[in-house]
Structure 1
Amino acid sequence: MPPSRCTPWHQSSTFAQENEVVVRAARNTSLLDPPLDCRCQLIHSMVIFKLPLKALSILPLYFLCNLSDMCCDCCLLGRAAREQGLTCDHSLSLGYQCGLVSRACCDDRSPDVETKISQGKRINSKTREGLMVEGEEKDFLPLRYGFDAILPSSSLHLPDINECLLGASNCRGGEHCINTVGSFRCQREVSCGTGYELMDSNNCKDIDECESGTHNCSPDFECQNTQGSFRCLPKNQCGDGYIQDAMGSCIDINECLAQTEPCRPGQLCMNTMGSFTCQRNSINCGRGYHLNDGGNRCVDIDECKGPDGACAGHGCINLVGSFRCECKIGFIFNSISRVCEDINECRHYPGRLCAHKCENVLGSYKCSCTQGFKLASDGRNCDDLNECESSPCSQECANVYGSYQCYCRRGYQLSDIDGINCEDIDECALPTGGHICSYRCNNTPGSFYCTCPATGYTLAPNGRSCQDVDECVTGTHTCSVTESCFNVQGGFRCLSFECPPNYRQAGEMARVERSDTIRCVKSCQPNDIGCVLDPVHSVSHTVISLPTFREFTKPEEIVFLRTMSPAYSSPQLSSDIVFDILEGNVQNSFDIVKRQEHGMIVGVVRQVKPLIGSLNMVLKLAMNYVTSGVVSHRNIVNVHIFVSEFWF
């Protein structure tokens, strides 16, 4: 705690309170130094700052002493005025607060007495800072500077003191007081500025940019710290005649430009690396002249002398201070560059020198022809070139104007790669190759051929289709004498049909349209009532052969069941025929529709779904004759179907 000039205080005439407890500042300090004895009354300060009496119990002693210091200064002025015989109301321009203290000390003549306050307990002076209730050692309360506390005997709360507002800080000029809990701190009002940093002591310290690495000196420079800044000094020291640039490199000094008249009159300054030289001025002869041997006069230069001369192989005519070239054919003289330049005839006479292409050459030009042509004897026109004479094509060649065209024989096609060679056409691999031959297509160079299955077929005269071989007709079948030969597509079948009991074969086996058919009719024995009552009058067997359908788009009619019944019967007869499939309809691949042909009823058996061979089946059909709604009799037709594995 800072030292204080606090002295014991006494009762003032301005202090008139009802409190009864004797209170005294408990601090062991010396009195004011002579010549003046500042017997300051602390109560004066409390009056000035309008503090209640209980502040004696809750304010820190250091703050009370600060108030006492100011009180003593103002009080001494009042005492001095009284001793000099001045009135206590004199105006010294002390300010309101200090004036009150000064007048109070001027008027105060009372002896030192103890002040009492109402609580009845005495606070004695001790050698340590604080207040103590007399007789109760435990009630001693150290009043530390700036901190809150609770007084045990009075249960009073000590709040934080804002030293900045009360003017109790020791901040210097240019510093700003900032209150903290239990204390305060002083902070500069003006920043330290660039190159400095504020320390905890509130002083500004120079920042060493070289040590902290915040400088921007290049590698060729060395950093040197200065107050508030730094300096970049070059590491390399350049020799005489050189100077260091911004990058730290040594560059030559052009003394001829940097110095004023470095050479004597009549001399020419010539800069050199790191220095300069002075040379005597010489006569400057113009173009086409040079100094004579004496070096004092300009004479004409004969440019045409020498093995080549100035015209490089062309005619040369010397002139005073100049020359002129006599250029050869195909060249022209350039008066500015004074040389013979080639004439570009192709550019000067476009389209008039060559029929096709013109190419400039030194002193002349050359004609050439596009592909497919050759240069004519006059060297300018172009004639057609017959490329076919060199046989560029693999097969046939046709010459055209300026070019040629290759073509191929039948069964070949021109290559898409070079347009010269002919490649075989694989007719079997074409999109239509599957339909060229009925069975199998075999490609050959430039052509193809068709083949048929090894047995049952033969190649048709057109060389593409396969025809069925009727082994039953050609006699190449292997059926026994008890079997009947039935031809099917791609082969034959040996079948033996017998009529059931009470039936007999009606005539010989006959070929009907596409079918091979036999028919058995009922033949009852005498008195055979069961046979007579049997409604089946006939049983027929029909053999047909069907191909494997590759493209099945609509029903295929395969069997026609013809009857002798008229399509339109009389109302008296009221007869009809009903067709039905009894057995063998695999996957419902067949149906029967009724129609009329030539006024008669006909039943048509149709294939409505494709069948993949080889496949054998028997389709059992019924022809029901209905009279007046009752079936009078029926005929059974057994259709033996053989499906080939081929579509032809």
Structure 2
Amino acid sequence: SDVNECLTGNHNCIFGLFCINTEGSFRCQRETGCGTGYELTDNNRCQDIDECVLGSHNCGPEFSCTNTAGSFRCRPKETCAPGHVQDAIGNCIDINECVVYTSPCPPGQTCINSPGSFTCRRNTITCGRGYHLTEDGARCEGTDVTHVPGGVCGGHGCVNLIGSYRCECRVGYVFNSISKLCDDINECRHYPGTLCAHKCENTDGSYRCSCTSGFKLASDARSCEDVNECETNPCGQECANVYGSYQCYCRRGYQDIDECALPTGGHVCSYRCANAPGSFYCTCPTAGYTLAPNGRSCQDIDECATGGHTCSASQSCFNVQGGFRCLSFECPVNFRQAAPGRCERVTCEFTRSPASCSLLPLRISHYNLTFPADTPVPADVFRMGPSNSVPGDQMDISIASGDEEGYFEVQPQTHGGVISLRRAPAGPRDFLLTVEMRLVRYGRSHLYMAKIAVFVTPEIKNTFTFQSCSKM
């Protein structure tokens, strides 16, 4: 009978092999299989299965089978052109080199894929104002305008900023953030009555003082000194110098003349003349003025500064020549007060009618101006424009109401416009101008409004004539 060596232990199978009894003998077999693509031989070795020879592959008719260790590969019988790759079913697909490769083009150039290849195109970058393209064309960098020949600040100091610049203006000038230039300061308008004793005339970057008749400019170029007119013998008989003028008087045998009754008597005083024995005296309007130290001119009283006004607590006082105005400020519906004299539109989404709200101006600003009726024309009285400028801005400024008689006009400028007085009113009067500015920026239209109260005041003359004598 057969002996089972596997049971009796008379086999020689090593670790990793197990014993299988056979009739008259035994054999050793691997405990684990060889895995996919391999088969076990009689000598317990794993041998690769050639699927291509056995025909157990699944390659299509357009592919050829190539055996590999433990598997096989289906390779297309036809190859693709350069720049293409075949998919699993043999189709040729373009390779996007711009995605597959890292930085296929040099800096400053853009990769553009094409069938079977790619091209590099130089970047086209448009730099904004104050920037220029770098040498490699990859980016914009700020322009150092401090080295621009001739300078961009017109002889003033220049400070370079990133993408912009700022002018360090000389004394007598102020930097204009809109035009990026230094504008002359009108010192006479900014500091009325404080720079010169009598008359102030603006000059480029400064100002010049002058004196009225009867005075001369002092050594400080601001004060006025009395002129002794008697030194030039202006009188037919006797002369007495007075402050700012002189007075002629008569010798015995001659009579005094009423200076106020002379044809030119209306020019003895700036307002009204009253005769006195051997002389005369001047008076001013009962309200709004006080007699100047020279005894002939009338000076305006600032009721707002002295507290002589009658405005209520809810009103603001604005001084004008010879008086004052009590002004009220209140924002209309759909607006809120953002600052004194300025209203801003509320968010339209929270209003009852968002469509009609969006047609309202974004901002309404209130301004007050005053000047005498005999102001030389044309005269610029107000300038309007955006707080900053952007290339491509389009602006339209117009007087919407308040100038039905055509006293004012709009003069367009590069970054806004100027409201000018083109003809002087016949006398004192008040105007309330509504000026609108429509700004188109980046394709969107915005409306801004300015309410300008203009108070034109009467002018009091300051020219004088004097006494004469006649034989009794």
**What TM-score comes out, normalization by structure 2 length?**
0.41
Q: Whose RCO is larger (CA < 8 A, sep 6+)? A: 2
**What TM-score comes out, normalization by structure 1 length?**
0.30
